[in-house]
């Protein structure tokens, strides 16, 4: 009979706390309310009820350093102020957790306007997925009647393996785009793109 009463209390604490409390927090809450119960009893009854607390997922690492001994130089040097469109693009990717798993989203930003000119999504973080974002950016600029002119554009990214790959370097060279590589997972680079300048001044994005 005691177990049935405890189960009701456990279920009540669990439900009232958005179904995220685990055995430790429920045990503490029950004792705080004056219900003397052992933690192992709470764990056993939670198993019988078929409930468990929220489990934090593992940290997803998006940037892995490339293994090349030589790579493109840093042509930007954290100066993300462009004088015109198609002068400096910054490429990066992030991840989004969904019910079906992790989805990686690559994007290419024109630093002149902070507009995302290319994007791509995939369930694996391979070179082809960042290439798709680059190809979309080139296509989008052609569609906007602002084509990329060989020798004018810098493509900047961190030193992740996807961006230091020979395959991406070939595509950039074929399009007449200069490759620029910063450090591995450089958060400052990403922050500069979001804010629009090195002074962290927020500027509304425009469609240029």
- Residues 92 and 174 placed together within one structural domain of the fold: yes
- Residues 34 and 109 placed together within one structural domain of the fold: no
In a domain, 77, yes or no: no
Q: What is the CATH number of the domain that holds 149?
A: 3.30.420.10
In a domain, 205, yes or no: no
Query: Is 129 in contact with 107 (CB distance < 8 Å)?
Result: no
Q: Strand pairing partners for 122? A: 104
In a domain, 95, yes or no: yes
The structure's pTM equals: 0.60
In a domain, 69, yes or no: no
Provide the pLDDT for residue 159.
84
Q: What total of structural domains would you count in the chain?
A: 2
What are 181-192's pLDDT values in tens digits?
Answer: 886 555 445 555
Q: Which of 102, 106, 94, 103 is nearest to 135 (CA)?
A: 106
Query: Is 85 in contact with 111 (CB distance < 8 Å)?
Result: no
- What are φ and ψ of residue 59, in 5° steps? -65, 130
In a domain, 55, yes or no: no
In a domain, 71, yes or no: no
Provide the pLDDT for residue 176.
94
What is the domain range of residue 17? 1-49
- Residues 30 and 96 placed together within one structural domain of the fold: no
In a domain, 200, yes or no: no
What are 83-101's pLDDT values in tens digits?
Answer: 999 999 999 988 888 887 8
pLDDT of 197 over the 60 cut: no
- Residues 109 and 180 placed together within one structural domain of the fold: yes
pLDDT of 76 over the 50 cut: yes
What are 14-45's pLDDT values in tens digits?
Answer: 888 878 788 989 999 999 899 889 988 999 99
DSSP H helical segments within 33-179, as ranges? 39-49, 127-143, 166-174
Q: Quote the CA–CA distance of 171 and 153 in Å, as a whole number.
A: 13
Provide the pLDDT for residue 120.
93
What are 133-152's pLDDT values in tens digits?
Answer: 999 999 999 999 999 999 99
């Amino acid at each position: 009979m005691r177990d049935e009463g405890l189960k009701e209390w456990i279920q009540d604490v669990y439900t009232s706390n958005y179904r995220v409390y685990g055995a430790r927090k429920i045990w503490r809450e029950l004792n705080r309310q004056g219900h003397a119960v052992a933690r192992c009893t709470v764990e056993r009854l939670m198993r019988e009820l078929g409930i468990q607390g929220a489990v934090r997922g593992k940290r997803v690492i998006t940037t892995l350093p490339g293994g090349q001994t030589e790579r493109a130089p840093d042509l930007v040097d954290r100066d993300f102020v462009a004088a015109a469109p198609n002068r400096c693009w910054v490429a990066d990717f992030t991840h989004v957790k969904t019910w079906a798993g992790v989805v990686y989203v690559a994007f290419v930003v024109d630093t002149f306007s902070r507009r995302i000119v290319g994007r791509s999504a995939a369930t694996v973080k391979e070179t082809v997925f960042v290439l798709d974002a680059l190809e979309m950016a080139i296509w989008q600029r052609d569609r906007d009647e602002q084509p990329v002119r060989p020798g004018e554009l810098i493509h900047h990214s961190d030193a992740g393996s996807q961006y230091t790959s020979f395959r991406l370097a070939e595509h950039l060279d074929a399009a007449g785009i200069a490759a620029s590589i910063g450090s591995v997972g450089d958060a400052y680079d990403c922050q500069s793109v979001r804010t629009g300048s090195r002074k962290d001044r927020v500027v509304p994005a425009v469609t240029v």
